[in-house]
Structure 1
Amino acid sequence: MNFTATLNSMGQGLCYALVSILFIFLAKKMDDWRTKDFDDDRHIDDGNVAVGLRRAGLYLGIAIGMIGPLSGDSAGFRTDMLSLLVDGVIITGCLFFSRFINDFIMMGRINNDRECVKVFILGGGRTTTGNTALGMVEAGMYIATGCILNGSMSGGGGSFIQSLGSALLFFVLGQIVLLAFGLVYELTNPFNVRDEIRRNNPAAGIGLAGILVALGIILKSSLSGPFTGWVNDIIGFFVYTVFGMVLLLGFSAFVDRFLLPTTNIATEIKEDQNVAALVVVQATIIAVALIIAHAI
Structure 2
Amino acid sequence: METSFEFIWHSGVFLLLCLVLFFVAQLAFRMFNPSFNVNKELTEKDNLSFYLGYLGYFLGFLMIIGGVMNSEGSGDFYSEIVLSLIYGGIGILILNLTSLVLDKIIHPKLRLWDDIIVNGNVAVGLTKGIHYFATGLIVGGVMLTEVDKPVEAAIFLVFALVIGSIGFMYYDFITPFNVRKEIYKGNNAAAIGAGGAQIAFAILIYSGFQIVHSTWQESMLMIGVDILAGFILLPLIRLIVDKVFIPTAKLTDEIVNQEKPNFGAGLFEAASYIGGALLFIWCWNL
Residues 148, 223 of structure 1: 8 Å contact kept: no
Change in 2 beyond 3 A, CA 1:263/1:176: same
- What is the correspondence of 1:1-296 to structure 2 with a 5 Å cutoff? 3-45=1-43, 46-74=45-73, 75-119=75-119, 130-155=120-145, 160=148, 162=149, 164-225=150-211, 228-272=214-258, 273-295=261-283, 296=285
Structure 1 residue 135, shift from structure 2 partner:
1.3
| Separation of aligned partners in 2, 1:243 and 1:144 | 17
Change in 2 beyond 3 A, CA 1:33/1:94: closer
| Separation of aligned partners in 2, 1:21 and 1:166 | 28
| Separation of aligned partners in 2, 1:281 and 1:182 | 14
Q: Which moved more, 1:105-114 or 1:178-187?
A: 178-187
Task: Give structure 1 regions of 4+ aligned residues with deviation exceeding 6 angstroms.
Answer: none
Structure 1 residue 166, shift from structure 2 partner:
2.9
Structure 2: which 5+ runs fail to align?
A: none
Residues 57, 139 of structure 1: 8 Å contact kept: yes
| Separation of aligned partners in 2, 1:27 and 1:109 | 28
Aligned sequence identity (%) = 23
Provide TM-score, normalisation by structure 1: 0.87
Structure 1 residue 69, shift from structure 2 partner:
2.5
Structure 1 residue 233, shift from structure 2 partner:
1.3
| Separation of aligned partners in 1, 2:157 and 2:99 | 13
Structure 1 residue 72, shift from structure 2 partner:
3.2
Partner letter of residue 2 of structure 2?
A: T
RMSD: 2.0
Deviations 1:54-99 (CA, angstroms, capped at 9, x unpaired)? 1111101111111112223442212222221222122111111221
Change in 2 beyond 3 A, CA 1:11/1:33: same
Provide TM-score, normalisation by structure 2: 0.90
SS in 1 for 2:165: helix
Partner letter of residue 199 of structure 1?
A: K
Residues 57, 140 of structure 1: 8 Å contact kept: yes
Residues 65, 88 of structure 2: 8 Å contact kept: yes
1:127 is matched with which residue? none
Residues 139, 209 of structure 1: 8 Å contact kept: no
Deviations 1:28-77 (CA, angstroms, capped at 9, x unpaired)? 11222333332222212232111111111110111111111222344221
Structure 1: which 5+ runs fail to align?
A: 120-129
Kindly tell me the number of residue pairs found equivalent between the two proteins: 280
Deviations 1:265-284 (CA, angstroms, capped at 9, x unpaired)? 21122124111221222123
